[in-house]
Structure 1
Amino acid sequence: MTQNLAALFPIVKAAPVVPVLIIEDVKTAVPLARALVAGGLTALEVTLRTPAALECIRAIKGEVEGANVGAGTILDEKQFDAAVAAGSTFLVSPGATPRLLAHADGSPVPLLPGIATASEAMALLEAGYGAAKFFPAEQAGGAPYLKALSSPIPGVMFCPTGGVSLKNAPTYLALPNVMCVGGSWVAPAAAVAAGDWAAITTLAAEAAALKAV
């Protein structure tokens, strides 16, 4: 069992932030994605938390040049297959089960599974995984916890997600075992509802310019 890092890394390392998107209306999917890509954020995680999610992925995949659209909140094999069929270029899960990892084995679409403990990170290493989502990041110990993992478990790179913001993202990005962060602050619900795509592009550009501290 191996993780397709050759496919995953170019997608998630293209910018320091991966937007985590909950899209209620497919009509907003394409302009939202275009606004984020215009600001420099190209890896877009559309979470499977709404009935419109798969349709949104299809729309972004077909209409937004420069976007690498992926699916988040993958919980089982059925969601995995549906997300791949919709055109996802990467998949993200809040956790990692043996069945999900086995199902992902051999897929050209890479899976970024979630972990929150050292034991879970070690289990992923044993399963052939070298990258994981650290979730929920702030609630699970934040940047200090990830820093503590970097020395004893150097073989796993992380994308911390959950409570990550413009303010604390640079602290995460400074860690040697962090490849990017995931966050929803770049697409606030009020701006999406108002169709204020210029504001979202500004937030995306700010996030794309983040540096480690």
Structure 2
Amino acid sequence: MAQKTDLLLPVMTGQPVIPVIKIARLADAVPLARALARGGLKAIEITLRTPVALDAIKLVANEVEEAVTGAGTILNRKHFEGAVEAGSRFIVSPGLTPQLVAAADESNVPLLPGAVTSSEIMTALEAGYSLLKFFPAEQAGGAAYLKSLSSPLAGVRFCPTGGVTEKNAPTYLGLPNVLCVGGSWVAPDELVADGKWAQIEDLARQAATLSKPR
């Protein structure tokens, strides 16, 4: 089956930056999601990198109606199914495996898988996936590398994540094969730990004003 682009495209084109967040304390999940949404970043990726991640996804999905809750760091079918059960509306993975393709085919929730090399991207295309995560973006060659893929792999669109900051995000967004970027700078760990929701809202608002050059 093909990628559910009709469900994924609105997420990737609805805002220039998708926050990639790590929830260490469950109590932070709802106020953080609300702060990001107020700032204009409604779609958020909650990574499965902490013991409370699935509970955080469930809380945000149930209590923050304005948020479009996604799950990141999905590595296998168990992760995929757990994230969907928790209420995720999109799934993000650093790579693509037959197991993940099968899980996505059986679900109504779209998958944004990662790919870096030409072979990985071509494998994703063969599986019906043309919207991809480019991770880790900076470590894999950055905007220059990604730009070089735009001609030979013209039908693929990316969300670069990994080392993307407020300084280099505009460069990525200026590429013809980039729809949005993923970044954690809009919710720094220290601001989350201190409950500085107004400051996070301001960072989100600034990020939401980034746009692709015309």
Matches within 5 A, 1:191-206: 191-206=191-206
The percentage of aligned residue pairs carrying the same residue is: 62
Are the equivalent residues in 1 in contact too, given 2:23–2:29 (CA < 8 A)?
yes
User: Contact 1:69 / 1:89 at 8 angstroms: preserved in 2?
Assistant: yes
Q: Give the gaps of 5 or more residues in structure 1.
A: none
Alignment correspondent of 1:140: 140
Partner residue in 2 for 1:2: 2
Match of 2:182 in 1: 182
2:13 corresponds to: 13
Deviation at 1:200, TM superposition (A): 0.1
Aligned residue number for residue 173 of structure 2:
173
Matched AA of 1:9:
L
Is the 1:116–1:134 contact (alpha carbons within 8 Å) kept by the matching residues of 2? yes
Give the Cα–Cα distance (whole angstroms) in 2 for the partners of residues 131 and 106 of structure 1: 18
Shift of residue 60 of structure 1? 0.4
Q: Which amino acid aligns with 2:56?
A: C
Alignment match, 1:48: 48
Measured against aligned partners, the alpha-carbon deviations of 1:151-198 in whole angstroms (never above 9, x if no partner) come to: 000111100000000000000001111010000000001100110000
Compute the displacement of 1:107 (Å): 1.7
> CA–CA distance in 2 between the matches of 1:105 and 1:179?
23
Superposed structure 1 runs of 4+ greater than 3 Å apart: none
Given the alignment of the two structures, is residue 101 of structure 1 paired with residue 97 of structure 2, yes or no? no
Q: Deviations over 1:94-134 (max 9, x none)?
A: 11112211221142100000011111111111110110000
Q: How far did 1:33 drift?
A: 0.2
- Superposed CA deviations along residues 130-154 of structure 1, whole A, max 9, x for unmatched, are 1000000000011011110000001
Structure 2 counterparts to residues 26-175 of structure 1, below 5 A: 26-175=26-175
- Aligned equivalents of 1:145 and 1:118: distance in 2? 11
What is the distance in 2 between the residues matched to 1:106 and 1:3? Answer: 11
**Alignment-mate amino acid for residue 75 of structure 2:** L
User: 2:40, 2:85 → 1: CA distance?
Assistant: 26
| RMSD value, Cα | 0.8
Q: How many residues align?
A: 213
What corresponds to 1:212 in structure 2?
212
Structure 1 residue 211 displacement after superposition: 2.4
Q: Matches of 1:100 and 1:106 in 2, distance apart?
A: 10
Equivalent residue letter for 2:94: P
TM-score, with normalisation over the residues of structure 1? Answer: 0.98
Structure 2 letter corresponding to 1:5: T
1:33–1:64 CA contact under 8 A, matched in 2: yes
Q: What code does the residue aligned with 1:161 have?
A: T
1:7 aligned partner, one-letter code: L
